[in-house]
Amino acid sequence: MPKKVEKESVCTYCGVGCDIVGVVQEQEIKKIYAKKDGVVSQGKLCIKGKYGFDFVHSRDRIKSPLIKKSFLEKNPKLKEKYQEKLAEFNKDYFTSSLEIATSIVADKLKQIIQKYSPKSFCAIGGARSNCESAYLLQKFCRKTIGSPHIDNCARVCHSPSLKGMKETIGEGAATNPYNDIYESEFLLVIGSNTMEAHPIIANRIVDSARQNNNLAVIDVRPTRLAKLARYNCIIPFESNLLILNAMAYVILNEELYDKEFIATRTKGFREYKDSILNDPYANPEIFKKIEGYEYLAKMVPKIAREYALKKSMILWGLGVTEHIDGSYAVMALANLALLTGNIGKSGAGLMPLRGQNNVQGACDMGCLPYYDPDYQTPKEIGLMTPELIDAMLEGKIKALYNMGEDIAHIHPNQNKVQKALKNLELIVVQELFMTEIAKKADIVFGVKSAYEKVGVYVNAMRRLHLSQPLIESDLPDDWEILKMIDNKLGGDFDYKSSEDVWDEVRKVAHRRFSGAKYYRLKRHRKRGMQWPIYYEDTPILHLLDFRTKDGLGNFIYNQWKKRGMVKEILNKEFKTKKHYYLTTGRTLAHYNNSAQTKRSSKLNDKYDGDILLAPATDKDIFGDFVVLKSIYGESEVLKVKYLEEMKPKTLFCTFHHAKSKINYLFGDESDELVKTACFKSIKVEVIPVSGGMEFS
C-alpha cells in the first residue's frame, strides 16, 4: 500500500486563511486537517476547510480547453484557420490543445483591438486566484492589451472598506492580527454573521465573549454570535451609519474621547465634532421615535461608552459595506477608532472581515481600475464592474476576460448582466467548472485548483501564506495561460515559474512585499508574515503614524440620510406597506457560488438549495414555499424557515445556488463612492407558492 504523505498549505475558501494539512495517498487527497499549533486555525477548521476538497477530484472539472461551436460559426475565418486542429467535445463545444486555444483567443483579441480599440477589452479577476495570477491579469489588461478596465470581485464585497479606510487612515487593510481579539477588552462586531462566514475568527470572539462578557453585535437580524453578546443590538435596515454616528455623538457629548491621541495623531476633529453635535440624526434620542427599535436609545450609548473607555476592536463584514453608504459607514468606524485612540496598538484596531481567501491580495496586486499594484495611481483609471456592464450594453466593451469570478451569478441585476454579456464578441473564462459565466464563454480554459499549485495568498489580517500543491496536476496555472496569450500578441512575459512572477511583484509592489521572498515565506510558512514585509513583518499597523500623506488620521463626517425602513417607521407607513426587507449572506456549508462546495456531499446534502429565513409571525401567511419579487426581477421558488427572533418584515436568504436566482432581485443601487451593490437591503414582495412545489 503506497504511503500517505502530509503536506502543509492554506485553505482555499474564506478570507480567514486557515493553515491546513492535506493527507495524500497516490495523488488523492484523503483528508484535510489543521495542526494544533496552527497560528490561524489554532487546530480547528470549519466544515468547508475540513470536508470541502472533493471538488479537486471531481469528474466534471474542465480538463481541456473548450471552444464554443457557435463562436466559430460567427467567426468563419478563425474556423477555417483552426478547424483541422480541433476535436469534437460535445454538441456545443470543440476541444483543442492549449496552444491552439490560446492562438484562437489571441487572433480574436487582435481583431477586436484593431476594429474597436484596446479599451474595448476588460478583465475581471476573482479573489480566489493567487497573487501571482492576479498580478499578471492586471498586467495583461493594462500592458499587453492597453486597457485600463481591470477589476475584481472585491467590487461586490469590501471595496467600501478599502475606500473608507484609505480616506481616513491611509490603508485599506486590517490593522491587527486575529489573536489581538484575546487582548481586547471590548469587541464590537457589526454587519457580520461571523460564525457562518468567518468561523475560525468567530472561535476567538466566542472564547473572549464567554470569558469576559465583552461583546456587542450589531445587525439587522439575530445571528448565532449575537446569542453570546452582552449587547445584542438588532437595528433597522440601512441604519449602520445612523448607529455609528450616534455612538460618536455620545462619545463627544460625554467627552469620552482621547484628547491626547486626537491632538497628536489626527486632524479635522473640530469640524467633525461640530458637525456631529449639530446633526439631529446623530443624537441617539432619535431612536425613541423609531417604533420597535426604541431600546436603541439606551443600548447605543451603553455600547459607545464601553467602546470609548476600554481597549476595543471593531470587526465588520458585508453587512456594513453592501449599502449605498457602505464607504461612509467604514469612515464612521474609523472615526470611532480615531476618536478613542483605539488604533495603532495591540488589542484594538479595525478588522474588515474579508470574504475570499485572496481578496486582500487581489487588491494589493492592482486588480482594481483605480489602483496599480501597491495602491499606486495608474496611468489611466478604468471602469468599475457595474460601469463595465453598462459599457457592454452600449457596445463600448466587446471582450471580457474572466479569471475565477462568476459575474453571471454573484453580481446584482442579473437580468441586465445577462443582456450585457450577449452583446460581447468574445468571452474568455479560466475556471475549474462550468460555472454560470463559463457557460456563457466562447473559450473556456480549465486550470489548476488552489490545491494543485504554488502561490501567495494574503488573508484578512494581511498575512501572506505560500501555498504548495497537495497533489500534482497537468493543467496550466492561471498565469501560464495569460503568458501564452501575451506572447502570441507580441508581449514579453517570460516567466518560467510562479516564483518568477512573485519576484517581479516584490519589485513593483515593494512598499509591501519587498522582503517576502519565497524562501522566507517557506521558512515561515507556519507563522506567516504580515505585510509590509522588509527584514521584519508588521503585525500591527499605524503604531506611530497613519499611512496617509502627512501621517495623520483624518476625521471625515458623513450625515446619515433619512431613507428606507427608518423613514417608513418615522412616517408611520411601515405597517401598511406590503413589502418586506431582504438581506442576503452566506451559510457555513457553502462558499460564494458554491462551485467547489457543492461537489462535497458532506457540505451539499443538507444545503442543496438556498433557504429563506422569515419571522415566525408570518408562517401562516407564507407557508412553506415562496417566490420573492422586487422591481428588478424574481427569484425561483424558495423554501422558508421561520425564526422567532426575526424582527417584523425582515427576511434573510443565502445566494449560493444559481438556480434560486436571488441576485435577479437586485438592481443598480450601490455604494455612492465605489459602486458595491446593496445586497444587504432590497424591498421585496413575498408571493406564497401553494402545494409545496420544490424546484429541481
Q: Which is nearer to ligand SF4, 10 or 296 (CB)?
A: 10
Residue 567: which region, alpha, beta or left (left: phi > 0; alpha: psi -120 to 50)? alpha
Q: What are the b/e assignments for 362-395, b being 16+ CB within 10 Å?
A: bbbbbbbbbbbbbbeebeeebbbbbbbbebbbee
CB of 637 to ligand SF4, least distance (A): 29
Minimum distance, C-beta of residue 174 to ligand SF4, in the bound complex (Å): 15
Strand-pairing partners, residue 217, are 189, 232
Closest CA to 411 of 650, 159, 593, 581: 593
Q: Which is nearer to ligand SF4, 48 or 108 (CB)?
A: 48
Cβ at position 586, least distance to ligand SF4 in Å: 10
- For residues 16 and 427, which CB has a smaller minimum distance to ligand SF4 in the complex? 16
- Least separation in angstroms between CB 24 and ligand SF4: 18
Residue 163 CB, shortest distance to ligand SF4, in Å, is 25
Are 276 and 245 a contacting pair, CB within 8 Å? yes
Answer whether 528's CB lies under 8 Å from 464's CB.
yes
Q: Which is nearer to ligand SF4, 297 or 588 (CB)?
A: 588
| Cα 23 from Cα 471, distance rounded (Å) | 10
Closer to ligand SF4 at the Cβ: 239 or 357?
Answer: 357
Closest to ligand SF4 by CB, 45 or 339: 45
Of 635, 645, 654, whose CA–CA distance to 584 is shortest? 654
Q: How far is the CB of 530 from ligand SF4 (least distance, A)?
A: 16
Tell me how far CA of residue 263 lies from CA of 268, 278, 558, in angstroms: 10, 22, 21
Question: Closest separation between CB of residue 464 and ligand SF4, Å?
Answer: 15
SS3 95: strand
Q: Which is nearer to ligand SF4, 526 or 577 (CB)?
A: 526
For 6, list phi and psi in degrees, rounded to 5.
Answer: -110, 135
Q: What's the rounded Cα separation, in Å, for the pair 279 and 429?
A: 49
DSSP alpha helix (H) spans, 6-89: 47-51, 69-74, 76-82
Q: Give 19 or 568: the residue with its C-beta nearer to ligand SF4.
A: 19
Pick between residue 48 and residue 657 the one whose CB is nearest to ligand SF4: 48
For 344, the grid coordinates are 495603532
Q: How far apart are CB 10 and ligand SF4 at their closest, in Å?
A: 8
d(CA 287, CA 281): 9
Find where cell 470609548 sits.
Answer: 308
Nearest distance in Å: CB 120, ligand SF4: 38
Taking only Cα atoms into account, the Rg of the chain, rounded to an integer number of angstroms, comes to 25
Report the chain's terminal Cα–Cα distance, integer Å: 42
Among the listed residues 261, 267, 244, the one whose alpha carbon sits nearest the alpha carbon of residue 344: 261
Give the CB-side neighbour count of residue 663, counting CA atoms within 13 A.
23
Query: For ligand SF4, which is the closer residue by CB, 49 or 236?
Result: 49
Query: 208 vs 596, which CB is nearer to ligand SF4?
Result: 596
Q: Residue 49 or 585: which CB sits closer to ligand SF4?
A: 49
Q: Please, what is the minimum distance in Å from the beta carbon of residue 14 to ligand SF4?
A: 3
Task: Give the rounded distance of the alpha carbon of 190 from its chain centre.
Answer: 16
Work out how close the CB of 22 gets to ligand SF4 at its nearest, in angstroms, rounded to a whole number.
13
Nearer to ligand SF4, 32 or 331 (CB): 32
Q: Minimum Å distance from CB 590 to ligand SF4?
A: 10
Closest contact distance (angstroms) between CB of 526 and ligand SF4 is 16
Nearest-angstrom CA–CA distance, 133 and 365: 9
Residue 650 CB, nearest approach to ligand SF4 (Å) = 26
Q: Which residue is nearest to ligand SF4 (CB)?
A: 49
Residue 194 vs 327, nearer CB to ligand SF4? 194
Q: Residue holding cell 441604519?
A: 239
Name the site residues for ligand SF4 (rule: CB under 6 A).
11, 13-14, 16-18, 45-46, 48-49, 199-200
Concatenated DSSP letters of 348-366? -EEEE--SBTTHHHHHHTT
Question: To the nearest whole angstrom, how small is the minimum distance from the Cβ of residue 198 to ligand SF4?
Answer: 6
Q: SS3 letters for 266-316? A: EECHHHHHHHHHCCCCCCHHHHHHCCCCCCHHHHHHHHHHHHHHCCEEEEE
Q: Could you tell me where the DSSP H helices lie in 518-671?
A: 518-523, 564-570, 601-604, 619-622
- Residue 156 CB, nearest approach to ligand SF4 (Å): 18
Question: What is the spatial distance between Cα 268 and Cα 270, in angstroms, rounded to a whole number?
Answer: 6
Q: Are 71 and 85 in contact (CB under 8 A)?
A: no
* Cβ-based nearer residue to ligand SF4, 49 or 491: 49
Q: Are 124 and 401 in contact (CB under 8 A)?
A: yes
Whichever of 48 and 675 has its CB closer to ligand SF4, that residue is 48
The secondary structure of residue 3, as a DSSP letter, is: P
CB atoms near residue 570 (< 10 Å)? 15
